Structure formats: structure tokens, C-alpha cells
Structure 1
Amino acid sequence: MELNSIKDAFDRVAKKQKLSCSKSQEVIDQIIQEIEKALGKIQPSLSDYKHVLSDLRTTLKDIAPLSQLEGTQKELNIALSKYAKVIEKSFNPDIAKAYRNIEFDVHTVNQIIAIHFYRQGFFDIGDCFISEARELESAASIKSSFLEMFQILEAMKHWNLEPALNWAANNSDKLKQNGSDLVLRLHSMQFLEILKKGSRNEALKYARNHLTPFSSDHMAELQKLMACLLFTGRLDSSPYSALISPTNWEKLAEELSKQFCNILGYSFESPLSVTIAAGVQGLPPLLKFMNVMAGKKQEWQTMKQLPVPVELDKEFQFHSVFVCPVSKEQSTDDNPPMLMPCGHVLCKQSIMKMSKNSTKSFKCPYCPSDVEATKCRQLYL
């Protein structure tokens, strides 16, 4: 909603600026026209130039260029002023209000930042950061691993699959455990590249050596590849041209990156990127809360959980969250969810409160069952 208001304000400024420019050009053209008329009168008779200049001065005074431009310029200034206020209202320059003093493991944070640089291919920046953070011992193996990945991806950009095939062969068992068909996809693309060069016999030989082992589980894919033999050297104009499209190469490179990171024990998405993206979504409600809590900063620093709901998109939700239907509070390690004998779930503190610290039974808020606190069992999310 805030972005829509910013866009509307920007569109108004752009419209006013366009009108102002158009009016300015119109006035300038009018002045040029009058000056050219005056020059045309002066040239035939140089002796009467004073009268011509006097008439030009009177004409320009009647045109009143500054008065004509004043209105559109004033409207533009007003729109610019309002636009600045909208931006200032929508983007709080002081995001430090939402900061909390939390102790971090500096070594772990340094590793996350270094890995982010390396996995993005910024090896020089990563080396500089590692040097300044003095994390040289733990960074050498990380850099070498991602350097290998980028060398493979760079070769794939030039239609060279040999490094990728060698890596996949060395890690075939791990890829199989992960349920990945990357090895088949790499061999299939290599088979198609051979066909593109017009060597049918070589392609058939390659298929027998490398694609046959996949025939039991991927017969449909292999049949389509065998049909490509009929279009050797002209695959780009065949019914199977989609198999060699640049999109397939991009998807293949993405799958290789995912599996490479998976085998290294890293997620495909950079943890630093995910953290920043989630923080950007969660920042606005926290800033609004801090504006309300301006005089209670110390209380904010000691809170164990967020006092306001922060909605994040599904890609940022990595584990289940339980909110007690009685207290409306999110479960914590000190206040875990508890399963009652009737099958309903409440937080521990709610159960203890309703049972008077386990001294009496109580009725479940969802069904007529009588519940004894001692028979409730903790759930682990």
C-alpha cells in the first residue's frame, strides 16, 4: 500500500514536470520567433534598427515569459514538496530503533558473510573480508569448494560439460542418495551437443556407454533422445529443438549449483540473503512498534519474544509455530505446547493456571472433557 502511494506521488511529479518543460519550450519558441522577425526587419534597413528593437522590447514585455512559467513551476514545486514528504513518511531513515542488543557468535557470523561472498563468486572481496576478520584457517576449504563450482559453471556457459560430468561422476553416490537425476541430465545434454555437431555414430556410441544404465527408470526420456538421432546436425529446426534451448542450460546450471551446495552441507540460498530479505519484511511493524514504545526502550531490549505479530512470506517459514488459543501467546522453551488427553493443545502456562498448579482438574476449552495436568504431554515442534 505504501509503495502505491509513493508511485502515485511520483507520477504526479512526473506529470507536472512534463507540463513545465512543455510550457517552457513553448515560451522559448515564441521568443525565438519574435527575435527572428526583428532580425528580418533590421537586415534590409540598418538605419531603422532602434525602432525595431523598441518594438521587440514591447512584444517581449507583452509575452511576459516569467509570468507564463510561474504557474507551472509553482505546481511542480508543490508536487516535489509533497513527494519528499511521502518518501520521508514511508521510509524511516533511522532503522536502528528496531535494533536489540543480542550476543552473536562472531566466528559464525564471519563465516556466514565469507561464504556469501564466495558463493556469489566475489572471491577477491571474500579474501579481503577473511583477512580483516582474521578467519584464515576456516576459509581456505570454503573458498576452494566454491571456486570449483564456479569453474564448472563458467565452463557450462561455453557449452563445455566435461568439468560438470567429472564432478558428477565423483559424487554420483551422494547425488543418488539425494534423489537427484543430475547425472542423467548432464549426459543427456552432452549427447545432444554431440548431435548438434553432426556426429550420429559418436552420439550413438556415447548413448550406449553413458545413457544405457538409466534405461530401467527413465525409458521415456531416453526414447525421446533416441528420436533426436533422426535430426543429427539440424536439431534446432526439429520437433525436439526445446531440448537444446538456453533455458535448459540455465536450469541445468541451477540444479548443479543446488546439488553442489547440498553436498557441501550448505543451503542453495545464501543464509545472509535470506536473513536480510526476511528482515526487510519484518522491519516496518517493528519500527511502528518502537515509535509507540519510544519511552520504553529498556523494556524492548529485555523482551524474550516479539510483542507484535510479524507476518513473513512462506519461503521464510522454516519451522512450526504454536500460539496458545487461551493466552494468545507464542510457545517458547519455557512455555511449550502440551497435548491434553482429549487431543487438544494448550501452552503449559495456560494449563498450570487453569489447573491451579496441577492441584485440580479443569475442563478443556474446546470440548467437555475433564483434564488433569499430570496427564498432559509436551509436544516438540
Structure 2
Amino acid sequence: MELHSLKDSFDRVAKKRKVSYSKTHEVTDLIVQEINKAIKVMQSSTLEYKSELAELKKKLQEVSPLNQLEGAQKELNIALIKYPKALEKVFNRDISKAYQNIEFDSPIVNQIIASHFYRQGLFEVGDCFIAEAQDAEAAVAMRSLFQELYQMLEAMKSQNLEPALKWAAANSNKLKENGSDLQLRIHHLQFVKILQKGSRDEALKYARTNFASFAGNHIAEIQKLMGCLLYSDRLHESPYAHLLSPTNWDTVTDELTRQFCNLLGQSYESPLSATIAAGIQGLPPLLKFMTVMAGKKHEWQSMKQLPVPVELDKEFQFHSVFVCPVTKEQSTDDNLPMLMSCGHVLCKQSINKMSKNGSKTFKCPYCPTDIDLTQCRQLIF
């Protein structure tokens, strides 16, 4: 939300600058126009220049360039003064205000950081970090695992698919269980690569050897690839030219990384990256809360739950949760979400309280329906 206000501030500066720029050009053009007129008159006249210069001075006074420019420039200056303040408000914050005195398990944190470096292919940085941290040796196992992945990715940068093909063949059953067609897509790239060299017979031989096992579920895609054989010598000018796009390699590289992490039981995104990104989104409302609660820091330190709602993007919503709209508390095993006969949902404790433990009916907080506790059912996400 604050980034939107920052964008609005920037847009105001840009708009004021545009107005000032246009006004400056407009006034400048008028001045140049009057001067050129005066020059032409003086060049065609034998009279003294004093009268013409006096006339020019009079017309320039009528144009009043300074008066016309001052207003637009003043508005631009005001917008320019406000914008750095908006920047400072959004980016230059004392985030320590939202800090809680929580003891972290240093070895675990160091392992997460070291694992992050290995996941990113920064093996030397990870090794250096482990050597200095001295308590993240458990992350070394991640090194060998992700080193295999990055060897395949480095080979693919040189359009060498052999390491990726070997890995996909060794894990073909697991890939099928995951519903991934990664192996076929790698064969697809290799087939097009061979055909690109103009070797139609070799490409046909490769297709017969490697595509047969995929014909059951991917016959349409294989047939399309066979159509490429008709254009082996001019594939870039054919209806199949899109198969030569570098984005095809990028897509397979992304799928290889995703499936590799999946088979390791690891998330595709680095947990540390996801945590920091989610923290960046959640920090502004916490800082705003701490500004309001400036004199009650001890209460913040003792809180077990976030004191204000923190809305995160869907990419950070990994598990389905329910917050009771009455108590504003998250459901638990002892306080399950309950579906009422009207279709609205409340937590069990709220329903029990409103119904006096089932001794009477009550009205739904969102509609006029009378609710009977016996008709409420546990809602499973």
C-alpha cells in the first residue's frame, strides 16, 4: 500500500516536471519568435535600431517569461521537496522497532544460510560461510546434492543435454509419479538440436529410439516433432520455427530445477528467500503498530501472536488457515471452524458462546438466519 503512495508521489513529480518543461519551451519559443521578428525588421529597415529595440523590450515585457515560469517551477520544487521525504518514510526506517527478544538456534540459522548459498550455486561462498560459522556442518550434505544440479545446468548453458538426460532416465519412474514429462521435453530439445544441424536421418533415428515409450500419452506432440523432418534444411523459416526459441531451453531448465528439488524433498524456492520476502511484506503494518504502541514496548515483547492482521500475497500462503470473523483468532485443533446452516463459518468456541453451549438458537452475525448448534458441521479445508 505504501509503495502505491510512493508511486503516486513519483507520478506527481513527473507530471509537474512535464508541465514545467512544456511551459519553459512555450515561453522560450515566444521569446525566440519575437527576437527573430525584430531582427528581420531591423535587417530590412534603414532606420535606427533604437525604436525596434524599444518595441522588442515592450513585447518581451508583455510575454513576462519570469512570471509565467515561476508558477510551474514553484509547483515542481514543492513536489521535489516532498518526494525525498516520502522515500525516507518508506525505505529509511528503524526496523528494530518491530524486533522481539527471541532466542534463535544459531546452528540451525547458520545451516539455513549455508544451504541457501548452495541452492543458489554459490558453493565457494557456502564453504567460506561454513568454515567461519563452525556450526553449520550439517549443510554440507546439501552441497553435493545441489552440485549435481548445477553441473547439469552449466552443461545446458553450452547446450549439452547429456547430464540432464542421464539424470532424467535414472529418475524416470519418480518423474512419472509426479506427472512430469521432463524426460520427454529434454529429448525434445535434443531432437531439435540434432535436426538444426541438418541431419534428418540422425534426428529420425533419435526419435525412433527415444520417443516410442512416450507415444501413449504424448502422441500429438511427437507427431508435431515428426513434421519438423520436412523442414530439416530450413527449420528457422518453417511453421515450427518457434521450436528454436531459447525460451524452450529456459522452460526445461526451470522444470529440471523444480523436479530436482521435488525429488530431494526440498522446496523450489529457497526457504530463506521466501522468509525474507514475506517479512518485507509483513514489516510495514508491524512498524505502523509499533509507532502507535511506542510507549508499550513491553507488551509487544510478551505477545505470542501478531497484534495486527498481516496480509501476504498468495505465494506466501502455504497452508489453509481460518480466522474466526467474530474473535479474530485463528482456528486450532481445540477450536475448529464450523460450517453453519446458512453457509457462513465461525469457530466452534464462538458458536458455543453464542448458543450458550447449544441451549438456544442464535442469529448468524452475517445474515438473519437462526442457527441451531446441532446443525453445524466441522469444516475441513
1:3 aligns with 2:6: yes
For 1:244-301, what per-residue CA distance to the aligned partner results, in whole angstroms no more than 9, with x for missing partners?
Answer: 2101011111111111111111111111111111111111111111100101111112
Deviation at 1:335, TM superposition (A): 4.2
Deviation at 1:7, TM superposition (A): 1.3
Amino acid of the structure 1 residue aligned with 2:226? M
Give, in whole Å, the separation in 1 of the partners of 2:281 and 2:191: 45
The equivalent residue for 2:260 is 260
The equivalent residue for 1:147 is 147
Amino acid of the structure 1 residue aligned with 2:370? P
Contact 2:112 2:139 in 1 (8 A): no
Give, in whole Å, the separation in 1 of the partners of 2:18 and 2:217: 62
Inter-CA distance 14–96: structure 2 relative to 1 (3 Å threshold): farther
The equivalent residue for 2:372 is 370
Deviation at 1:377, TM superposition (A): 7.2
For 1:185-208, what per-residue CA distance to the aligned partner results, in whole angstroms no more than 9, with x for missing partners?
Answer: 111111111111121221111111
Inter-CA distance 335–98: structure 2 relative to 1 (3 Å threshold): farther
For 1:316-355, what per-residue CA distance to the aligned partner results, in whole angstroms no more than 9, with x for missing partners?
Answer: 1112221223323333456443466887643243244335
Identity of aligned residues (%): 65
The equivalent residue for 1:64 is none
Q: Output the TM-score relative to the length of structure 1.
A: 0.77
After alignment, is 155-164 or 347-356 more displaced? 347-356
Give, in whole Å, the separation in 2 of the partners of 1:81 and 1:339: 54
Contact 1:9 1:86 in 2 (8 A): no
Give, in whole Å, the separation in 2 of the partners of 1:336 and 1:106: 35
The equivalent residue for 1:96 is 96
**Structure 1 gap segments, 5+ residues each:** 23-67
Contact 1:12 1:79 in 2 (8 A): no
Q: Within 5 A, what are the aligned runs for 1:328-367?
A: 328-332=328-332, 335-338=335-338, 345-354=345-354, 356=356, 358=357, 361-366=359-364, 367=369
Amino acid of the structure 1 residue aligned with 2:174? K
Give, in whole Å, the separation in 1 of the partners of 2:249 and 2:373: 60
Give, in whole Å, the separation in 2 of the partners of 1:321 and 1:306: 15
Provide the aligned length of Structure 1 versus Structure 2.
Answer: 337
The equivalent residue for 2:158 is 158
User: 3-state SS of the aligned residue for 1:222?
Assistant: helix
Deviation at 1:211, TM superposition (A): 0.6
For 1:54-88, what per-residue CA distance to the aligned partner results, in whole angstroms no more than 9, with x for missing partners?
Answer: xxxxxxxxxxxxxx9xx899998766543332222
User: 3-state SS of the aligned residue for 1:104?
Assistant: coil
Amino acid of the structure 1 residue aligned with 2:279? G
Amino acid of the structure 2 residue aligned with 1:284? P
Give, in whole Å, the separation in 2 of the partners of 1:351 and 1:76: 58
User: 3-state SS of the aligned residue for 1:216?
Assistant: helix
Contact 1:13 1:80 in 2 (8 A): no
Contact 2:336 2:378 in 1 (8 A): yes
Contact 1:16 1:79 in 2 (8 A): no
Give, in whole Å, the separation in 1 of the partners of 2:362 and 2:110: 49
For 1:209-264, what per-residue CA distance to the aligned partner results, in whole angstroms no more than 9, with x for missing partners?
Answer: 11111111111011111111111232122111111210101111111111111111
Give, in whole Å, the separation in 2 of the partners of 1:295 and 1:272: 32
Q: Within 5 A, what are the aligned runs for 1:19-58?
A: none
User: 3-state SS of the aligned residue for 1:180?
Assistant: coil
**Structure 2 gap segments, 5+ residues each:** 26-65
The equivalent residue for 1:35 is none
